[in-house]
Chains A and B, each alone.
Chain A
Amino acid sequence: MTTNTYLIKEGYDNLNKHGSKTISTMLIICATMLILGIFIIILQNVNSNVETLRLEQGLQAFIEDKLTDEDIAYIEDQIRLIDGVSEIDYMDKSEAFEDAKNQFKDQDYFLEGLENLDIFPASFIVKFTNIEEAEKITAEVEKIEGIYKVKYNASTIDAVISISKVANGFLLSVGIVLLIVSIFIISNTIKLAVYSNKREIFIMRYIGATNSFIVKPFIVEGAIMGVISALISFIIISIVYVYVYVALNTNFAMGIFRFIPYSTIWYQILIAYVVLGLFIGIFGSAISLKKYLKV
């Protein structure tokens, strides 16, 4: 057995020796990690939806009736010249009618018989490369001759963006608090472990143990607690997410909100949890060791 294997084994034995304390610590770490995980997943979902919204939202520019094909092509060229425009789609009158039918879905009976009346105006759907430039682009589109109205849902988009900003800020601060709590809990457990091993540490010092030899088992103990808590939290959160995902996607329509499929984020969560667990474990034990062993 090399010295390092021995020290890892000592760390592992410490976990067993402080059994009930270890379990209660890991339970608390799991709980904070789960809350953190739920927040992160909500945040990821919100951000992913905001991002989709950012890309999908555009403006709709309605064109005057009785324009020639050439006029329409000219308008399209004019729009295309504006900075920040990523995509232009032309929707003619019959497509506009279909679109209206789709929007009303079950109540489209009142549109019956209107097919040939051309009451819905043709329009251009313009998408942006950057949502922040939306207002500037809208203003420029409005100036183009042949366009009589521009529809741009500014307030909805602004609201979603500001909500997501607030949510990000809130979750970040809650996350930091939970992280500090976890570090504090681990450091407290290690402090007790150091205390209960005081006699051993005293003897080690007299025999000539280096600081790293004394400290390593405690760091290992903290790291194992952190990683095990991370893995347990990961398993729980995976089961919950998949269950919620299936339930929400099959039981009722979520409207425009789309959940990220778990298959695309599970590894991110796993990596984040393990890194977080290691960080909490190592950092938590290191701060208590620094204080109590005067390393």
Chain B
Amino acid sequence: MIEFVNVTKKYDHDVCAMDNVNIRIEKGEFAFLVGPSGSGKSTFLKLMIKEEEPTSGKILIDGKDITKLKKKDIPFLRRKIGFVFQDFRLLYDRTVEENIIFALRIIEATEKDIKAQLKSVLQMVGLVGKEKYYPNQLSGGEQQRVALARALATKPPILIADEPTGNLDPKTAEEIFKTLLEINARGTTILVVTHAKDIVNELNKRVIALDHGKVIKDDARGVY
């Protein structure tokens, strides 16, 4: 599903953010990407959605080498990857429902699909009844659920969560991870970048650790 083959990324002045990285994440897998600041996690994500280009190596998403992708096809690559941010990135002048529909409009979904998907993702993240609320009327955990619902609305086969619980208290964080596991159980491949040591250790999933742009650990059932 996601494959990095000998990927190296050098920025100006020879700063090496990714040093000959080889990673393969299978379809339906749940993996954590951990490491200190500057270890290359963000670069990894940016390379996946083609916001950055590797200096050398191949990146395969769904079997296709995205380094060869044309500029005009980038939006269609991104539709395969749902993205959730630490700071939620919601539109605060739109309701929960409108935030989710926003994503569906972007992928040019039909009215029928919009209705069906809206109902389905609201159920999936447990926000039924909050459709007409504005993000500011919701708690942090609920806002992250809206972000999750928006990312899932377009039915992406891959979901990336960048520090999804960084702004949340431990209890709420745990609930968000519970939801992520449920989503994974439905077949979505999930990659989570996190510093939440306790949760990583508790869930006993695959852990890929980066440092100075290199993979220093990749355990199928690992700890932080």
Contacts and interface: CB of A to CB of B under 8 A. Distances in A.
B78 A207 contact: yes
A208 B91 contact: no
Contact of A202 (B89, B107, B154): B89
A284 B108 CA distance: 27
Nearest to B109: A3
Contact of B75 (A1, A199, A203, A210): A210
A74 interface: no
Interface centre among A6, A210, A213 (most CB of B within 10 A): A210
B106 interface: yes
Contact of B83 (A199, A206, A210, A213): A206
B105 A6 contact: yes
Interface in A161-218: 199-200, 202-211, 213
A279 to B, nearest CB: 27
Given A3-B105, A199-B91, A213-B106, A206 B111 contact: no
Contacts of A202: 89
B76 interface: yes
B148 to A, nearest CB: 13
Interface in B124-165: 150, 154
User: Chain A contact residues: over half helix, strand or loop, or mixed?
Assistant: helix
Interface residues of B, number: 19
A204 B91 contact: no
B78 A199 contact: no
A209 B75 CA distance: 6
Interface residues of A, number: 16
B106 A207 contact: yes
A193 B188 CA distance: 36
B191 interface: no
Which of B78, B102, B105 is packed against the most chain A CB atoms within 10 Å? B105
Contacts of A203: 89, 91, 102
Interface string B79-115: 1000100000101000000000011011110010000
A205 B89 contact: no
A9 to B, nearest CB: 10
B108 A3 contact: yes
B218 to A, nearest CB: 27
A204 B150 CA distance: 11
A202 B78 CA distance: 13
Interface in A1-20: 1, 3, 6
A210 B76 CA distance: 8
Nearest to B153: A207
A200 B91 contact: yes
Contact of B49 (A199, A206, A213): A206
Contact of B103 (A1, A199, A207): A207
Interface string A59-93: 00000000000000000000000000000000000
Nearest to A7: B105
Nearest to A213: B106
Contact of A199 (B72, B89, B111, B154): B89
B61 to A, nearest CB: 13
B78 A206 contact: yes
B112 to A, nearest CB: 12
A207 B107 contact: yes
A208 B111 contact: no
A213 B75 CA distance: 11
A32 B215 CA distance: 62
B108 A208 contact: no
B78 A208 contact: yes
Contacts of B150: 207
B10 to A, nearest CB: 23
A209 B103 CA distance: 9
A257 to B, nearest CB: 57
Contacts of B108: 3, 213
A209 B91 contact: no
B78 A205 contact: yes
Contacts of A213: 106, 108
B190 to A, nearest CB: 17
A104 B72 CA distance: 78
Interface in A113-157: none
Contacts of A210: 72, 75
A208 B89 contact: no
A207 B89 CA distance: 12
Which 3 residue pairs spanning A and B have beta carbons closest together?
A: A208-B79, A208-B78, A208-B75
Given A207-B107, A209-B75, 9 more contacts: A203-B102, A206-B78, A207-B79, A207-B83, A207-B106, A208-B75, A208-B76, A208-B107, A213-B108
Interface of A: 1, 3, 6, 199-200, 202-211, 213
8 contacts: A3-B108, A200-B91, A206-B49, A206-B78, A207-B83, A208-B77, A208-B106, A209-B75
